[in-house]
Structure 1
């Protein structure tokens, strides 16, 4: 699907309210890589991250029945069935190739801001919502995260990272996957999967996975 690179930006400040937290910090082992040169504090307190926990809950509820009314040969495209077929073909493929294929597959969807798409300042979409309505940066990252979970990747090795793009001066979100002491970036603004150390203009704010989040500091 054609995309306009000029639209590949996110609404700044969409997570500001979630940063006013009183977390319980954990002395857990940090990742082998200091993501974009930041230091991390970890917490399992997710009460303020309702958009993240909400999208996981909606996906868990809808996933068993998301193919019920979907016919891949029908007049309407069945994005979920095509996505499932795509993922099933990746089982047994080398891990790095899985990352590249998933990144490329989901980056084909058009970028669309939440106020236009949903009439809301910020909305975190399930893969089904994203594939039928497209979405913005965090929606690409969420669908990549769910895709890799489906392929057997450990959740603890992946994070949705919310950051500041210092070149564009906007908020942005990506998926980071930790493998072999590398933090690999899956980004709707970058065609290839790349090592995080190659990106100098991203300043992480926080990152999150199922059951845990990290505050990033310079």
Structure 2
């Protein structure tokens, strides 16, 4: 494993050791135990570090929550689906993303979206946005946060760790976006045109069902080795 990869992964352990133990609900502890048993001890440490971030940010302002979640998940490793999962396009659940220690842009964005929803940010303020990353000349996904219904959204991205307004990301060309209920065609850097229900997206439906049922899938390579 590359030295930079090992460095990123040690940040989780450093976060764990920074303060005392946290209190977990029975359900949260069961999920930590499940991920640790399936993926190994380091995955269990990452789960505890994630739960610490969630616990410490429950009552924080939205801006603080955005930064904490963006910074936490951006520590994980970017790796393409065909390398990690052996298929061209696989949307991992947040537990699979944390457990396997890496994923592609969809996995970064999905994990951030679910974490922000758990932290109490309303679904109407969040969207998963498919864009064209012009510099890389490839499709990409980010999370958009709307402080108000008419605001230019702030973008959470694994390519650029700084949370910026969409108008300050000329390298990204929006295509469409969705959240838990709606789907938009993105014709501008703001709202876009409502195009129906997000249930039209079969991959999104499948991901949400798996996230609810919490099954786990083992990657074909171990990023913790």
Segments of 5+ residues of structure 1 without an aligned counterpart are 4-61
State TM-score, norm by structure 1.
0.66
Matched, 1:136 2:104: yes
Matched, 1:93 2:60: yes
Matched, 1:203 2:168: no
Matched, 1:117 2:87: no
Q: Judging changes above 3 Å, is the alpha-carbon distance between structure 1 residues 127 and 2 closer, same or farther for their aligned structure 2 residues? A: farther
Does structure 2 retain, via aligned residues, the 8 Å contact 1:137–1:172? yes
Matched, 1:176 2:144: yes
Classify the secondary structure of the residue corresponding to 1:132: helix
Deviations along 1:4-60, one digit per CA (max 9) or x if unpaired, are xxxxxxxxxxxxxxxxxxxxxxxxxxxxxxxxxxxxxxxxxxxxxxxxxxxxxxxxx
Q: Higher relative contact order at CA 8 Å, sep ≥6: structure 1 or structure 2?
A: 1
For these two proteins, the number of residue pairs brought into alignment is 158
Does structure 1 retain, via aligned residues, the 8 Å contact 2:36–2:99? no
Equivalences for 1:6-21 in 2 at 5 Å?
none
Paired with 2:92 and 2:35, the residues of 1 have a C-alpha distance of 19
Equivalences for 1:28-107 in 2 at 5 Å?
65-69=30-34, 76-77=41-42, 78=44, 79-107=46-74
Does structure 2 retain, via aligned residues, the 8 Å contact 1:161–1:176? yes
Q: Could you tell me how far 1:117 is from its partner in structure 2? A: 0.6
State TM-score, norm by structure 2.
0.64
Does structure 1 retain, via aligned residues, the 8 Å contact 2:144–2:153? yes
**Runs of 4+ in structure 1 displaced over 6 angstroms?**
none
Q: Which residue of 2 aligns with 1:215?
A: 185
**Cα RMSD after superposing both structures:** 2.3
Does structure 2 retain, via aligned residues, the 8 Å contact 1:2–1:109? no
Paired with 1:213 and 1:161, the residues of 2 have a C-alpha distance of 10
Does structure 2 retain, via aligned residues, the 8 Å contact 1:2–1:108? no
